[in-house]
A and B are shown apart, each in its own frame.
Chain A
Amino acid sequence: ETGVTQSPTHLIKTRGQQVTLRCSSQSGHNTVSWYQQALGQGPQFIFQYYREEENGRGNFPPRFSGLQFPNYSSELNVNALELDDSALYLCASSLWGGSNQPQHFGDGTRLSIL
């Protein structure tokens, strides 16, 4: 069974740039969720994708956007990067089943904004 994989592991960008982070879901999982974890905090929900459509969004501005592909992999795009976007970005996959399916996390992408 292949787990959740994320790329890249680390990334350094400057303010105003754009970034794309990638996630491959665990085999058999069809739902992908993205979380942002600032230093010293718990992860915060960004959005979830199911059947290639956004299915729920947290309190994040529209410059955070995503995609899901037919093979269930996903991308997180962030435009006009700000210093506060520096964080660990975590992807989680699960089986679609409402709120009673466990989520499995990748190792994350650590994004630093200079």
Chain B
Amino acid sequence: GIQVEQSPPDLILQEGANSTLRCNFSDSVNNLQWFHQNPWGQLINLFYIPSGTKQNGRLSATTVATERYSLLYISSSQTTDSGVYFCAVQGAQKLVFGQGTRLTINP
């Protein structure tokens, strides 16, 4: 089955810093989503991005499907950005999730 690897596993930054999270996947996919899971467990859709680049405020994402990776950029980090970021790719009916990147933003 499809394998999804995320890096780094943990990231600790000061407020205002920028960060790049990476997602590598093992097979071609038709769907790739980025999620933010907040400390209360809510899984929030950030991007649906099977290919190309999208931006939403301080966040942007790029997927290079031919090279099987996606990047999530967070600029000018805020403490509310803390949480776990998941990349998930669609295989058959299911989303296959990576292990996540735990981001901690200190004030």
Contact = CB atoms under 8 A, between A and B. Distances in A.
Interface of A: 33, 35, 37, 41-45, 48, 55-56, 58, 88, 90, 92, 98-105, 107-108, 110
18 contacts: A33-B93, A35-B95, A41-B99, A42-B86, A43-B86, A43-B88, A43-B95, A48-B93, A55-B93, A88-B41, A99-B29, A99-B90, A99-B93, A102-B31, A102-B48, A103-B95, A105-B35, A107-B40
Interface in B82-107: 86, 88, 90-100
A46 to B, nearest CB: 9
Contacts of A101: 31
B20 interface: no
Contacts of B42: 107-108
A90 B40 CA distance: 13
Given A45-B95, A48-B94, A98-B30, 10 more contacts: A42-B86, A42-B97, A43-B86, A45-B94, A55-B93, A56-B94, A102-B45, A103-B33, A104-B45, A107-B41
Nearest to A108: B41
Interface residues of B, number: 25
B43 interface: yes
A87 to B, nearest CB: 11
B93 to A, nearest CB: 3
A36 B33 CA distance: 18
Contacts of A99: 29-31, 90-93
A102 B33 contact: yes
Contacts of B88: 42-43
Contacts of A48: 93-94
Contacts of A55: 93
B100 A105 contact: no
Would you list the 7 A-B pairs with minimal beta carbon distance, nearest first? A42-B97, A56-B93, A45-B94, A102-B48, A99-B90, A105-B43, A99-B30
